[in-house]
Amino acid sequence: MTFALDAAYAVYWSLRDPLAQSQSLPVLTGLARDGWRFGLVTFEQPQWKLAPEAVRAERERLAAVGIDWRPHDYTKRPPVLSTAWDVWQGASTLAALVREGGARLLHGRGSIPCAMAQAALLRCRARFFADADGPLSEEYVDAGIWGAGSLPHRVAGHVEERALRIADKVAVLTEVRRGEVAQLARGLVAVLPCGVDTAHFRPDPAARAARRAELGVPEGGRVLVYVGKAGGWYLSEEILDFARELRDAGAHDWRLLVLTPDPPERFEAGARERGVPATVRRATRDEMPGWLSAGDAAVSFRKATPSQRASSPIKNGEYLACGLPVISTPGAGDYSALIARERVGVVVAGLDGPGYRSAAAELERLLAQPGLAARCREVARAHAGLEEVVLPRYREIYAELLGAPASSSKEQ
């Protein structure tokens, strides 16, 4: 370690995981520009694991901007016990970053990193920022991974509630979630939606023309975009049903573009059955704005579960930042109300024929409005812009908890 630390930041993601690339690293590098210095703890899964020489290169690159990267291998089996082992590993590293690196703050992003921070506090003295994300214990119940009232559910829920009670600062993803946890936290709860880099995600007219030509979109045709996986929280079958209704409405020649890491046949077979022309592609983060620019609207259907009130779907902000109105299910964190209030999309009334047909008709009316793309982009900037909203809120929290960065105090 070649520099004194201000904070030790833990995630249960890999460095190359899209979540770390879109959420954690932009925040840390943005704060590092202000002089804050970080220890970064990650857990490297096989699909994102780097070769030793690449690890060395990344550590050098991050150290050059003020981030001391401490990767661990992610442990998958046995269930529950493997996570407990990772919590112990993360806690040990966080405590070392406090004792050896001088970190004054433990910053956990998500339930499991917050558990690491709590365990680390048994071995060291530091302030604690619970950057709480959603309630993982309830998400696992809603997803059918844990039974309600099971031992893992109860233990995880207890750890999550304790983090909210003891943290010096709590942040959540949505205003809805803030109302749920306000009575547990010691102070005011901050809202930090998943941020979108609006300088990166922006409409690209040249890419739009090129990608639409590649897709074979006819003159007057329209493209509905979906980014994400099949199944899980995501209602992929319902998305295909909506695409069929949109196409059958006959106002325009609609086709579907799916950008997913999943095998393409998971979408292609369902699209063929419904008579929906569909293209399924993989896209890197750098390629994503160009592909989104090819679209005319985007869809984000999620399961309607209680835990989803705490969610902040990253794709929604990225859609809007690229000028695309969003067709959403109800109850998706703050986005459903935002979409309806700001007229930047449609919230489906029901996941059935009448609901889809009503949403399709409303979407056609919306697309006829002048200035829609600009309005979508402005809403993205104002609600979830990384530089416009998220980083300024993080700066306020760090100043509240720590005052000035250690590096600036040494310079004075």
pLDDT in tens, 63-86: 999 999 999 999 999 989 999 999
Burial of 160 (0-12, 13-18, 19+ CB in 10 A): buried
Q: Distance between CA atoms of 11 and 104, rounded to whole angstroms?
A: 18
The alpha helices in 9-133, defined as continuous H runs, are 18-19, 25-33, 52-64, 81-99, 111-120
pLDDT of residue 408: 64
Q: 1: pLDDT confidence band, cut at 50, 70 and 90?
A: low
Q: 110: pLDDT confidence band, cut at 50, 70 and 90?
A: very high
- Where do the domains of the chain lie? 7-195+385-411, 205-384
- HSE-up (13 A, CA, CB side) for residue 76: 4
Q: Which of 114-123, 133-142, 249-258 has the highest mean pLDDT?
A: 114-123
My answer on whether omega of the bond before 78 falls inside 30° of 0, hence cis, is yes
Report DSSP letters for 138-202, one per residue: HHHHHTTSS-TT-HHHHHHHHHHHHHHHH-SEEEES-HHHHHHHTTTSSSPPEE-PPPB-TTTS-
pLDDT of residue 410: 47
Distances (CA, A) of 66 to 31, 52, 297, 315: 10, 21, 40, 29
pLDDT in tens, 5-49: 999 999 999 999 999 999 999 999 999 999 999 999 999 999 999
Asked if 7-195+385-411 and 205-384 have one fold, the answer is: yes
Q: Distance between CA atoms of 65 and 316, rounded to whole angstroms?
A: 30
pLDDT of residue 412: 39
Contact between 291 and 259 under an 8 Å Cβ cutoff? The reply is yes
Superfamily (CATH) of domain 205-384:
Glycogen Phosphorylase B; (3.40.50.2000)
pLDDT of residue 411: 45
| Of 169 and 234, the one with more pLDDT | 169
Is domain 7-195+385-411 given the CATH code 1.10.3470.10 in the classification?
no
CA angle in degrees (0–180, nearest 5) for 293-203-175: 100
